[in-house]
Amino acid sequence: MPLRIPARKTLTLTAVALSAALALTGCNAGGGSGDTTGAAPKDSLVVALTGEPVNLDFTTTAGAAIPQALMSNVYEGLVQVDQTGAITPLLAKSWELSKDRKNYTFTLVEGAKFSNGEAFDADDVKFSIERVKSDKWLSGMKSKMDIVDKVTVKSPTEVTVALKQPSNAWLFNMTTLVGAMFDPSGVDDLANKAIGTGPYALTEWKRGESINFDARADYWGTAPKTKKATLKYFSDAVATTNALKSGDVDVVFNMQAPELVDSFKADTKFQVLDGTSNGEIMLSMNNKAKPFDDVRVRQAVMYAIDRKAVVDSAWNGYGTLVGGPVPPTDPYYEDLNGVYPFDPAKAKALLKDAGVENLDITFTVPTRPYAAAISEIVVSQLKDVGINAKIETAEFPAVWLDKVFTKHDYQMSIVLAVEARDVLTMFNNPDYYIGFDNSKIAPIAAAADKADEAGFVSGMKKVVREIVDQAGSDTLFIFPNIVVANADVTGIPANSVTEALNLSVMGWK
């Protein structure tokens, strides 16, 4: 399905709201910014991020930081998503779908190797898919492989995946981290070592500081644009932009110091890209914990929040209002802003009906710039309708993931959900941290997945409407993807359409 970029006003010099939740920044580390006249071609790029992985194992640990660092760079799948949102070949150079839409037969590329020297073949495909279905995988995303019945190796370069029933979602899911290909001998210490078929080998991880990659001379595909790439982690977003101005940083991807955007746009040494993303800012309410186990209270919050004011105040109007947990890049998107218009009187009436007119709650806010800015506005708006929200700060990712995501020990929180097409991940599992009762949507989602394309779209729209009617969570807005970079950096992905940041496509003029 083509990527539909929502219409937005043009980026202006005062557009300080161009930040996103996981500010990715590029640094030069000796090969970066500065006067390039007469200089030798640069062979390194350093990208700075604000959210370091807890470990390197996305099969057992939640959070976007791990696949962001490793997918496309170290790990690859059979297929991938391009900047238009289309599914394209990767380790599978082609595939065929049977007439009953239940069997995918993949023809694999030849000559691909893992970074430990082991050859990639159909046996690795079988191993990787079956491992997702085993108890070795703990990530909630493993449910995306429940549809798989069996994997049959036909030859070293041909493998068939049989589904239990037709699925519109499965091939797209294979572009995500559940589709990552592993070497059976390289999974003993995934938390500390990453071994994949990708263009880079992970050479060093300095906890709290950086992850270093070297380009692989034996990579089967197009060689990376730079020989070395580093992800460098900063706790302060302003520090990354200062580094960009000083020449130590080459790229700021999903910028988190938006008040400085105009200074970069006015300087010819830099470039500003205005892209889109599929990231939803979710005001999460624990559907299984008081008071949000009462749908009236959740609906009261939906009416109490002026989402346009949130966008205008926190991000100067940048961000897309959608009214539901689906970005415009998804095929089943529809504008649901009218379901819960800003109506404080309606919010108060619902709270009175629920018997909680003067309500005290705890608002667990992760240590992220977007969360800090937005939470203050949300607290003010909730107070106006009689909900007194006390902010409790949770260090992100470790504390927030443990307390909110894993233990579900919270009432209200806020987070940027960056998984592509993640509505069912969030709401079709009552054990997910949101705790949404999926009894009504589960059969609708199942029927939609095995329907034809039109049936898939219409069915998923019904799913989303039911989630919104039940006020499962409040999607405040969709983040833009704004990139500020040294003017000489090329190949920067303008759109954030997956969790991965592909370093291999970025280089220098």
Predicted pLDDT of residue 76: 98
Predicted pLDDT of residue 41: 60
Mean pLDDT of 395-399: 92
SS (H, E, C) 363-393: EEEECCHHHHHHHHHHHHHHHCCCEEEEEEE
d(CA 129, CA 165): 17
Nearest to 109 by CA among 28, 181, 11, 207: 181
Residue 114, domain member (yes or no)? no
How many structural domains are present in the chain?
1
Predicted pLDDT of residue 300: 98
Residue 44, domain member (yes or no)? no
Residue 3 has pLDDT above 60, yes or no: no
Beta-carbon contacts of residue 378 (< 8 Å; ≥ 6 apart): 283, 305, 310, 363, 389, 414
Which of 245-254, 436-445, 467-476 is predicted least confidently? 245-254
List pLDDT tens digits, range 347-369.
999 999 999 999 999 999 999 88
Which residue type sits at 277? S
List pLDDT tens digits, range 159-206.
999 999 999 999 999 999 999 999 999 999 999 999 999 999 999 999
In the chain, pLDDT over 70 holds for what percent of residues? Answer: 92
SS (H, E, C) 77-129: CCEEECCCCCEEECCEEEEEECCCCCEEEEEECCCCECCCCCECCHHHHHHHH
- Pairing state of beta strands 412-417 and 270-285? antiparallel
Residue 229, domain member (yes or no)? no
Beta-carbon contacts of residue 83 (< 8 Å; ≥ 6 apart): 3, 493, 494, 495, 497
The 3-state DSSP class for residue 43 equals coil
d(CA 376, CA 387): 13
Residue 433, domain member (yes or no)? yes
Residue 295 has pLDDT above 70, yes or no: yes
Residue 246: pLDDT band with limits 50, 70, 90: confident
Predicted pLDDT of residue 234: 81
More confident residue, 463 or 24: 463
**Residue 357, domain CATH:** 3.10.105.10
- Look up the pTM and report it: 0.80
Contact 473, 288 (CB under 8 A): no
d(CA 4, CA 44): 33
Which class for 7: exposed (0-12), middle (13-18), buried (19 or more C-beta within 10 A)? Answer: exposed
Residue whose pair of structure tokens reads 């640990």 in the numeric block? 61
Q: Tell me how far the alpha carbon of residue 56 is from its chain's centroid.
A: 16
Task: Provide the mean pLDDT of the chain.
Answer: 90
Nearest to 129 by CA among 149, 157, 100: 149
Mean pLDDT of 117-129: 98
Mean pLDDT of 301-311: 97
Contact 461, 471 (CB under 8 A): no
Beta-carbon contacts of residue 179 (< 8 Å; ≥ 6 apart): 77, 78, 79, 128, 173
The 3-state DSSP class for residue 314 equals helix
Strand (E) or helix (H) holding 140: none
For residue 220 the two structure tokens come to: 């089967």
List pLDDT tens digits, range 369-394.
899 999 999 999 999 999 999 999 99
d(CA 37, CA 31): 13
Residue 150, domain member (yes or no)? no
d(CA 118, CA 339): 54
Residue 443 has pLDDT above 60, yes or no: yes
d(CA 442, CA 480): 30
Which of 18-22, 33-37, 144-148, 485-489 is predicted least confidently? 18-22
d(CA 274, CA 484): 9
More confident residue, 256 or 387: 387
Predicted pLDDT of residue 119: 98
Mean pLDDT of 84-97: 94
Nearest to 298 by CA among 244, 331, 237, 347: 347
Residue 231 has pLDDT above 70, yes or no: yes
Residue 310, domain member (yes or no)? yes
Q: What sign results for the dihedral spanned by CA atoms 468, 472, 474, 475?
A: negative
The 3-state DSSP class for residue 359 equals strand
Residue 19 has pLDDT above 80, yes or no: no
Predicted pLDDT of residue 248: 84
Predicted pLDDT of residue 419: 86
Strand (E) or helix (H) holding 27: strand 24-27
Residue 15 has pLDDT above 80, yes or no: no
Residue 371, domain member (yes or no)? yes
Domain that holds residue 290: 278-479
More confident residue, 506 or 246: 506
Predicted pLDDT of residue 243: 83
Residue 306, domain member (yes or no)? yes
